[in-house]
Amino acid sequence: MKNSYLAECIGTFWLVLGGCGSAVLAAAFPDVGIGLAGVSLAFGLTVLTMAFAIGHISGCHLNPAVSVGLCVGGRFPKADLIPYIVAQVIGAIIAGGVLYVIASGKAGFDLAGGFASNGYGEHSPGGYSLVAALVTEVVMTAILLFVIMGATDQRAPQGLAPIAIGLCLTLIHLISIPVTNTSVNPARSTGVAVYVGAWALAQLWLFWVAPIVGGALGALMYRGIAKE
């Protein structure tokens, strides 16, 4: 296995454990819960920290939609696309398993609480429709790729891309957690949905299709305006 594939597996593991873990374990902890803002920041921090840790090894995609978007944007070779996605999903599922072991150690734990899964309709945190969820995930992922493409452009200030990307992901969560619990990442969605099963797996298709479409659109938008 290439080091870059292993790095993506480890990095995505951290994203799911850090982001979803904050939602499952800390968001509503009695009296001192971190809330929506804390969970949003946690997701941003996972990307920020891993970008510095493995960005020079794999590019720190941690997200199939990012890999697809960068491929569409001409920044990533097609030959590595499927291995990257497989590594990301494996890392996410392992993280979901670790989180399940931790969370189930508390009396009263129940997967019916959602386990940080993404959803729409009755499974949307705010009761938002499928159409609202679809639009949200496409647009948010498009902006994420737009920022990634711009922040990593050779003409951009060097060394600051992880900060811009991490803060962008934080902002995306602040906006969209009430709508879908925020995916913008098919691996993140899969990593917890496989443990919830039932409705989470039934709705998982949207959290693959919408982020990948959005990622491709965002990359194309940046390519369109970045030409000198």
Report d(CA 221, CA 101) in Å as an integer: 42
Q: Is 56 helix (H, G, I), strand (E, B) or coil?
A: helix
Give me the numbers of helices (H) and strands (E) for the chain, helices first please.
9, 0
- Read off the pTM: 0.94
**What is the reported pLDDT for 221?**
96
Of 143 and 111, more confident: 143
Degrees to nearest 5, angle at CA 170 with 206 and 172: 40
Tokens at residue 223, please? 């390519």
- Computed over every residue of the chain, the mean pLDDT equals 94
> Are the beta carbons of 85 and 67 closer than 8 angstroms?
yes
Confidence of residue 62 (pLDDT cuts 50, 70, 90): very high
Tokens at residue 11, please? 């990095």
Q: What mean pLDDT do residues 52-56 have?
A: 95
Burial class (CB in 10 A: 0-12, 13-18, 19+), 56: exposed
Write the pLDDT tens digit of every residue in 88-106: 999 999 999 999 999 999 8
> Are the beta carbons of 19 and 43 closer than 8 angstroms?
yes
Tokens at residue 118, please? 């993404």
Report d(CA 203, CA 208) in Å as an integer: 10
- Residue 161: count of CB within 10 angstroms of its CB: 20
When computed from its CA atoms, the radius of gyration of the chain, rounded to whole angstroms, is 16
**What is the reported pLDDT for 1?**
61
> Are the beta carbons of 180 and 106 closer than 8 angstroms?
no
Report d(CA 77, CA 189) in Å as an integer: 24
